[in-house]
Amino acid sequence: MSEDIDKVWLKAARTIVKAGQMPMPITDTLITLLQTLMTDSQAKFIQIFKKPSLNFDQIKEKSNLDEISLDQMLNDLMDNGIIVGVPSRRTGMMVYRLMGPFPGLFEYTNLRGETDEKHKKIAKLFEKLFKEMQEGTQTNYDFIAKQFQNFPALTRIIPVEEEIEEIPVEKVMPLEEASKIIEKYDDIAVAHCYCRHQQDLLEKSCKTTNERTNCFLLGKSAQFAIKHKFAHPISKENAITIMNKASDEGLVHKAFHVHLNPELEEEAICNCCSCCCGPFQLYYSGVMPFHTLTSYQAELDENKCIGCGNCIEICPMETIEMDESIARINLEKCIGCGVCVHHCSEKAIYLKRTGPRDVFLPPKKVPYT
C-alpha cells in the first residue's frame, strides 16, 4: 500500500471515530476493519464529513463527483451501513449521517444476520478492537474512567411493562412503556440482534435466548433499514408479542434515541441479555462504563422474600446478593429494568418509580492479557 493510500485510510479512520459518540483508538485493527467495509474511493469520500451530518447540497458542494456519481456513492455507502440517510425532521431535506464505529458500524454490519466469510472476519476484527480498547482502559484506568463521564448515556431502560401497572396511570410517562412507544410509530422494522449475531459468528452462543430477530427500528430509522434491506417491516401487534416474549426470557428492554438525546424521539429498541449485548459486555470486560437512563428502581419486601436466589441469577447487572437468606439490592447499580420483578415467584420485589435517573457505573477493573 502506497504512502498516499495509507494517509487516506488514516484520515478515514479519524473521520469515522470523530463521527462517533464514544471514544475509540485509531489502530491497525480499526483501519483493517474499515478496509473490509469500504473501497479506497469511499474512504476518501467520507472525509467530506467534517461534521457527522450533512445534507445533499452540502455534500455536493464539497465533492468533485457529478450528481449521478454522487447519488451512487451515497447509496453504496448506505447499503453498507457506513452512512444513514433520513429526511430532516425540520426541513424534510435528506440528511446523511456518517456512522461511528460503536454504536454505528457495529450494528449495521450485523443487522442482516449475514454469515459469510467477510462477516466472520468483521466479527473477529470488532472482537480484537474491543480487546485493544480494554487494554487502553485498564492501563490508563483512572484517566479513562473519568473521561467517560463526559459522554452521554448510550441507552434508556424501558421497564417490563407488566410490572408498572400498579402505578397510577397519570404517573407513568408514555416513554416508559414499550407498547406506547411502539404505538407512536407507523413504521416499525425488525432485524437480527446485532450483538448476538456477532457472538454467533464467533461461535459463542447466547446463554439466555434462542431468539435472534428481536431488534426494532422505529420511524425514519425503520424506513431507512427497510429500504436498504437491513430489516423488514413488522406490525405493531407482532412487535409487542416479541417484546412480551423477551420479558419472559429475562431480556432487558433498551431504547436508543436520535443522537443519544433522550429529548429526541426513539430510533430503536433492543432486547438485551448480559452475556452477548454490547453495553453489558463492554462493561463487564472493563472496556467502557455502563451508562444508562432509567426512571425506576427495584425494591424488596423482606416479609415476602424466601431467599430462593432466582433474582440473583437473572439480574443483568449483578446488583443483588444474598444476605442471611434475604435478597439485598444495591440500588446504586440497579437500572430499573424490572427483570427481577417479572421473575420473582413470590412477588417480593416491585418497581418503584424514581423519576429520571442517570446510572453511571465505571468500567470493571479486570485482568487482561
pLDDT tens digits for 54-94? 999 999 999 989 999 999 999 999 999 999 999 987 788 89
CB 297 within 8 A of CB 334: yes
Q: Has residue 168 got a pLDDT over 50?
A: no
Return d(Cα 20, Cα 26) in angstroms, integer.
12
Q: Residue 167 has what pLDDT? A: 46
DSSP assignment of 102-149 equals TTBHHHHHHTT---SHHHHHHHHHHHHHHHHHHHHHHHTHHHHHHHHT
Structural domain boundaries in the chain: 3-142, 143-361
Second-level CATH architecture of 143-361 = 2-Layer Sandwich (3.30)
Q: Has residue 359 got a pLDDT over 60?
A: yes
Global confidence as pTM: 0.92
pLDDT tens digits for 197-224? 999 999 998 999 999 999 999 999 999 9
- Averaged over 280-287, what is the pLDDT? 95
Q: Residue 2 has what pLDDT? A: 61
pLDDT tens digits for 100-119? 999 999 999 999 999 999 99
Supply 203's cell numbers: 461461535
Other Cβ atoms within 10 Å of 148 Cβ, number: 16
**Minimal CA–CA distance to 288: which of 121, 102, 19, 105?**
102
Class of 3-142 in CATH: mainly alpha
Angle between helices 117-139 and 194-201 (to 10 degrees): 100
Q: Has residue 261 got a pLDDT over 90?
A: no
Percent of the chain scoring above 70 in pLDDT: 96
Which pLDDT band, with edges at 50, 70 and 90, does 277 fall under? very high
Q: Residue 1 has what pLDDT? A: 53
Return d(Cα 272, Cα 288) in angstroms, integer.
17
Q: Residue 62 has what pLDDT? A: 94
pLDDT tens digits for 129-155? 999 999 999 999 999 888 898 888 989
Q: Has residue 170 got a pLDDT over 50?
A: no
